[in-house]
Chains A and B, each alone.
Chain A
Amino acid sequence: MSALDTPAGLDVPRHHAFSRFCRAFAKRPAGLAGLGLLVAFGVLALAAPLFIGDDQLNVIKVDGPQLSPPVDGYPLGTDQAGRSVLLLVIWGARESLSIGLIATALTVVLGSTVGLLAGHYQGWIGKILMHVTDWFIALPSLPLAISLSAVLGQGAASITIAIAVTSWTATARLVRAQTLSVEARPFIERAKVLGAGNTQIMIRHVLPNVMPLILVSSTLTVASAILSEATLTFLGLGDPTSVTWGSMLQAAFLGGAVTAGAWWYLMPPGIAILIVVLGFTLVGRAVEHVLNPRMVGR
């Protein structure tokens, strides 16, 4: 009897809270628009291998006109090698989005760990961790990211690491503040009295309460991670063989597309970055508004 009651008793309020959240989110048109843009881009990126093959991406195999403005069959024009800019932008979404998401995951894991530890161990460990965080905040992020990925060598992995190392501080501060407020609640004291250790308190009791906040802030982190990826790739730190929005812009810049006035080659990747970053920002802000009623009017 009681075994049947407990899961239902736990599930129903959570389910209610979730549907209430969804209804509140649905009332924010900007957030919905952002979500729609992201879903559209996600579907395109996932479905890309169905209609784009090596024939359209390999510079040796393509047969289009070189650096041509939009014409029949090439709705967004072509690059220097004769590849369709439209197909390149769709293909670029795959790598750009995945680097953005992986870098965010790394950032969140790093930042939450530091924040959780600094909030839980309030003695010298917490102090040292917060000092380290402050030092990293003071460092200018782009020069640090550039230096790191230059030393680690070109490629997606080094860019991902560089982004994570330069952007974990915001998450760490947020998680620490939230950890402090959760740890002040009576149920933590109860858990301690019942004999819960440090690890158990942090993972079983504090983390679930901090999680929603972490997820919200990570939506905004994705936006800046995608921008950083594009910037670092443009500066020449990316994998030279892969197609991302940043590498398209780098190829266009180095190949003289600017001097040639090839706006059709430059516009699509930039607008794609704009849309995706805007999408993540809008969704992040909408969720923030829903969770924090004090933000009304911002």
Chain B
Amino acid sequence: MSSLTTAGPAKAKGQGVRRSDLLPYLGSKLVAALVSFMVTLVIGFVIFSLMPADPVRTLTRGRPTSEAQLVQVRLQLGLDDPIWQRFLTFVGNTLKGELGYSWQFQQSVSSLVLDRLGPTLLLMGTAAALSIALGLWLGIRSGWRHGSLFDRIASSSSLMLWSVPTFWLGMILLIAFSVGIGPIPSLLPAGGMSDPSLPQEGWAHIVDVAKHLVLPCLTMVLVVFAQYVTVMRSSIIDEMGSPYLLTARAKGLTDDAVRRRHAVPNALLPSVTMIFMHLGILVSGAITVESVYSWPGLGYLTYEALRIPDLPLLQGTFIVFSASVIIMNLLADVVYRFLDPRVRAQ
């Protein structure tokens, strides 16, 4: 962060200077993101193309194949080409959006990924919004009065929830609210995204999807919000000793106004960056939660790919997840640039 504030020479303040600084900044971030993506492709290539012992054997497993057919498949997959040529083909195909062909679904990986993208975005988006709101609110409250009863309850419950495996919490919620224990009746559907017996459009469909969304979303929020509480709480505590808060108090502002108008905006900056930087946690959450609730998204697709294991499909989901995290980090850098007045002023 401090490296950002000293990034450009402190010239005169003004729109023109800011704009001319913005483009090189965005450019360098964009280049860094592209390099990250290339590195992801290299890692993906090493894992999925170089490490497996014999892809042809896996592909033709259980089927009677002659030696000539094996040679034919090797030729088709380009396995006898030199490594650099295979890598270039792989990069070219990925950039064209061709992620390979799923062994299990007998369908192109890109079309599978596109089909599953919507549900994952719905689940992750809702869960992220709710957990950020809840986490920041709790973090501000408990940081402002750290050591109080509220703080101790909020901090210890977020510590407990952080220590719980996501998939386990999902199963427990599933038993409690969907299967029902003892007097608790079954309240919510157990899995999937919609009830196939209901019409797949209109108001009834939306209500149905919302009902299916409640439990997976709740599971993700419960596990993820704890991180945000910790981050927000410690950045509020960092701001607590600052002289400008003393000034605000000396002006006669109420405690609430000091917190809301002075402490929170400053403490929010590092937290927002941290939240964007740790979006990988949401991706991990999506994989386990979708597996438990059979939510038809990218995470469940990964789980289905794992059971075979269907390597082209796994490779596709790996690239898509990594690319989305890289894009979110890039967005975080841009948003940060606009949020932080110290950077903006330069």
Residues of A bordering B, CB below 8 Å = 135, 138-144, 146-148, 150-152, 223, 227, 230-231, 234-237, 246, 249, 252-253, 258-261, 263, 266-267, 269-270, 273-274, 277-278, 281, 297-298
Known: A142-B283, A146-B306, A258-B174; 16 extra A-B contacts, CB below 8 A, are A135-B39, A139-B280, A143-B321, A144-B43, A146-B287, A227-B163, A231-B167, A235-B291, A235-B303, A258-B179, A258-B190, A261-B179, A261-B181, A266-B168, A270-B169, A298-B237
A81–B280 alpha-carbon span in the complex (Å): 38
Q: Which of A142, A230, A278, A298 has the most CB atoms of chain B within a 10 A radius of its CB?
A: A142
A sample of 5 cross-chain residue pairs with beta-carbon separation below 8 angstroms, ordered by A number, consists of A139-B322, A140-B325, A143-B321, A249-B171, A258-B174
Q: How far is the CB of A166 from chain B (nearest CB, A)?
A: 10
A139–B325 alpha-carbon span in the complex (Å): 7
Q: With an 8 A cutoff between CB atoms, is B315 at the interface?
A: yes
Interface string of B110-132 (1 = CB under 8 A from A): 00000000000000000000000
Q: How far is the CB of B156 from chain A (nearest CB, A)?
A: 9
A103–B62 alpha-carbon span in the complex (Å): 35
Q: Which of A138, A140, A142, A298 has the most CB atoms of chain B within a 10 A radius of its CB?
A: A140
- Pick from A142, A230, A259, A261: contact of B165, CB under 8 Å: A230
Stretch at the interface among B47-55, B96-104, B255-263: B47-55
Q: With an 8 A cutoff between CB atoms, is B92 at the interface?
A: no
Within 179-230 of B, Cβ neighbours of A (below 8 Å) are at 179-181, 190
A-B contact count (CB 8 A): 138
Q: With an 8 A cutoff between CB atoms, is B271 at the interface?
A: no
Interface pair B147/A150, CB less than 8 Å apart? no
Interface pair A234/B283, CB less than 8 Å apart? no
Interface pair A273/B164, CB less than 8 Å apart? yes
Chain A residue contacts of B171, Cβ below 8 A: 249, 252-253, 258, 266, 270
- Given A143-B287, A236-B306, A270-B190 contact (CB < 8 Å): no
Q: With an 8 A cutoff between CB atoms, is B284 at the interface?
A: yes
Q: With an 8 A cutoff between CB atoms, is B267 at the interface?
A: no
**Residue ID in chain A nearest B172 by CB atoms:** A266
**Residue ID in chain B nearest A223 by CB atoms:** B163
A277–B219 alpha-carbon span in the complex (Å): 19
- Given A147-B314, A237-B306, A261-B181, A278-B159 contact (CB < 8 Å): yes
Q: With an 8 A cutoff between CB atoms, is B318 at the interface?
A: yes
Chain B residue contacts of A281, Cβ below 8 A: 159, 162-163
Interface pair A146/B163, CB less than 8 Å apart? no
Interface extent on B, as a size class?
35 or more
A298–B47 alpha-carbon span in the complex (Å): 41
Interface pair B288/A141, CB less than 8 Å apart? no
Within 119-175 of B, Cβ neighbours of A (below 8 Å) are at 146-147, 159-160, 162-169, 171-172, 174-175
Chain A residue contacts of B162, Cβ below 8 A: 281
Chain B residue contacts of A147, Cβ below 8 A: 44, 47-48, 314-315, 318
Interface pair B307/A236, CB less than 8 Å apart? yes
A141–B284 alpha-carbon span in the complex (Å): 7
- The 4 closest A-B CB pairs, nearest first, are A142-B284, A270-B168, A140-B280, A277-B163
- Given A144-B43, A253-B292, A297-B147 contact (CB < 8 Å): yes
Chain B residue contacts of A235, Cβ below 8 A: 287-288, 291, 303, 306
- Given A151-B51, A261-B175, A274-B160 contact (CB < 8 Å): yes
Chain B residue contacts of A142, Cβ below 8 A: 280, 283-284, 287-288
**Residue ID in chain A nearest B288 by CB atoms:** A231
Q: How far is the CB of B27 from chain A (nearest CB, A)?
A: 18
Interface pair B322/A143, CB less than 8 Å apart? yes
A231–B303 alpha-carbon span in the complex (Å): 12
A151–B43 alpha-carbon span in the complex (Å): 13
- Given A147-B48, A147-B315, A234-B325 contact (CB < 8 Å): no
Chain A residue contacts of B280, Cβ below 8 A: 139-142
Chain A residue contacts of B322, Cβ below 8 A: 138-140, 143-144
Q: How far is the CB of A145 from chain B (nearest CB, A)?
A: 9
Chain B residue contacts of A227, Cβ below 8 A: 163, 165
Chain B residue contacts of A152, Cβ below 8 A: 51
Chain A residue contacts of B165, Cβ below 8 A: 227, 230-231, 234, 246, 249, 270, 273
Interface pair A263/B175, CB less than 8 Å apart? yes
A274–B164 alpha-carbon span in the complex (Å): 5
Interface pair A143/B283, CB less than 8 Å apart? yes
A260–B181 alpha-carbon span in the complex (Å): 10
Q: How far is the CB of A93 from chain B (nearest CB, A)?
A: 15
**Residue ID in chain A nearest B240 by CB atoms:** A297
A274–B43 alpha-carbon span in the complex (Å): 33
- Pick from A135, A143, A259: contact of B179, CB under 8 Å: A259
Q: How far is the CB of A295 from chain B (nearest CB, A)?
A: 10
A116–B39 alpha-carbon span in the complex (Å): 23
Interface pair B190/A143, CB less than 8 Å apart? no
Within 309-334 of B, Cβ neighbours of A (below 8 Å) are at 309, 311, 314-315, 317-318, 321-322, 325-326, 329
Interface string of B260-293 (1 = CB under 8 A from A): 0000000000000000000110011001100110
Q: With an 8 A cutoff between CB atoms, is B94 at the interface?
A: no
A128–B292 alpha-carbon span in the complex (Å): 40
Q: Which of B40, B163, B303 has the most CB atoms of chain A within a 10 A radius of its CB?
A: B163
Q: With an 8 A cutoff between CB atoms, is B69 at the interface?
A: no
Chain A residue contacts of B303, Cβ below 8 A: 235
Q: Which of A223, A237, A246, A253 has the most CB atoms of chain B within a 10 A radius of its CB?
A: A253
